Amino acid sequence: MKRLLPLLAVLLLVLTAVAALVIVDRRFDRKITAVSPVTLIGPTCVQPRTIDDFAVYWNQFQIALNDHDKSKLFSMMDTCTFYWDVLYEKEWLRQPVASLDYTPYQNPAGTDTLIRGARRGSNLVFETEDDFLDNYDVIFSAIITRHLLGDTPAAARDGRFEIRWRLKDGLRTLSFDRLPNAGYKFTGLQWEP
């Protein structure tokens, strides 16, 4: 029996160590992601054509938003150079949206990579509809949806249409531009102090 005590003690220590490793492994078992490579750069980026008449486009956009028609909304967005400039982390777009001209903020290893528009602007690419769907709740948050469904876009001098509203932290602008060979598209959100 005395010979078995050291063996049992070693076995107990090994089992305790294995159990601790399993617990630690589970706590840190998070998907580690990185910024995906950009495959849709410049003229190689193709997106579905929409309408050149903003009134018709706007009506279709609001219907799609009200109906939560995500495929239709994806086709009505600028998927090649989407601009997203926000202030708060909860408004940042999630991986795998890829940036053409901005090195994204990297969270510590083990957490998702977030991409935030740069102060000088950042063109983002939705490489697939899944990229868009992963960010749908951020792009069409409750406050943005409320403005998209309740406000009337104002025409700017350059043919762009905008919805603007001011919060305590600054001015928000949703933009809709007529893109060459693509028609009108939802081109993003801009924040200004």
Structural contact between residues 135 and 156, judged by C-beta atoms closer than 8 angstroms: no
- Cα–Cα distance measured from residue 83 to residue 153, given in angstroms and rounded to the nearest whole number: 18
pLDDT for 32 equals: 30
Residue 115 lies in a domain: yes
pLDDT for 19 equals: 59
Q: 7 and 75 share a domain?
A: no
Q: 52 and 145 share a domain?
A: yes
pLDDT for 178 equals: 94
Residue 108 lies in a domain: yes
pLDDT band at 191 (very low <50, low <70, confident <90, very high): confident
Q: 96 and 168 share a domain?
A: yes
Q: 121 and 65 share a domain?
A: yes
Residue 67 lies in a domain: yes
- Residue range 88-104, pLDDT digits in tens: 666 777 654 444 444 44
Q: What is the average pLDDT across 173-182? A: 93
Q: 25 and 120 share a domain?
A: no
H/E stretch holding 170? strand 170-179
Residue 35 lies in a domain: no
pTM: 0.67
- Residue range 167-177, pLDDT digits in tens: 888 899 999 99
Q: 15 and 73 share a domain?
A: no
Range of the domain at 2: 1-30
Number of domains in the chain: 2
Q: What is the CATH number of the domain that holds 51?
A: 3.10.450
Q: 22 and 51 share a domain?
A: no
pLDDT for 132 equals: 86
- Residue range 34-84, pLDDT digits in tens: 333 333 344 567 788 999 999 999 999 999 999 999 999 999 999 888 888
As a whole number, the mean pLDDT across the chain is 74
pLDDT for 127 equals: 74
Residue 37 lies in a domain: no
Q: What is the average pLDDT across 134-153? A: 93
pLDDT band at 138 (very low <50, low <70, confident <90, very high): confident
Q: 118 and 25 share a domain?
A: no
Q: 25 and 52 share a domain?
A: no
pLDDT for 181 equals: 87
Q: 80 and 7 share a domain?
A: no
Q: What is the average pLDDT across 8-37? A: 52
pLDDT for 153 equals: 97
**Cβ-defined contacts of 87-94 (< 8 Å, 24+):** 87/169, 87/170, 87/191, 89/114, 89/116, 90/138, 91/138, 91/141, 92/116, 92/138, 93/124, 93/135, 93/138, 93/139, 94/134, 94/135, 94/138
pLDDT for 145 equals: 96
Q: 115 and 94 share a domain?
A: yes
- Cα–Cα distance measured from residue 122 to residue 115, given in angstroms and rounded to the nearest whole number: 10
pLDDT for 124 equals: 75
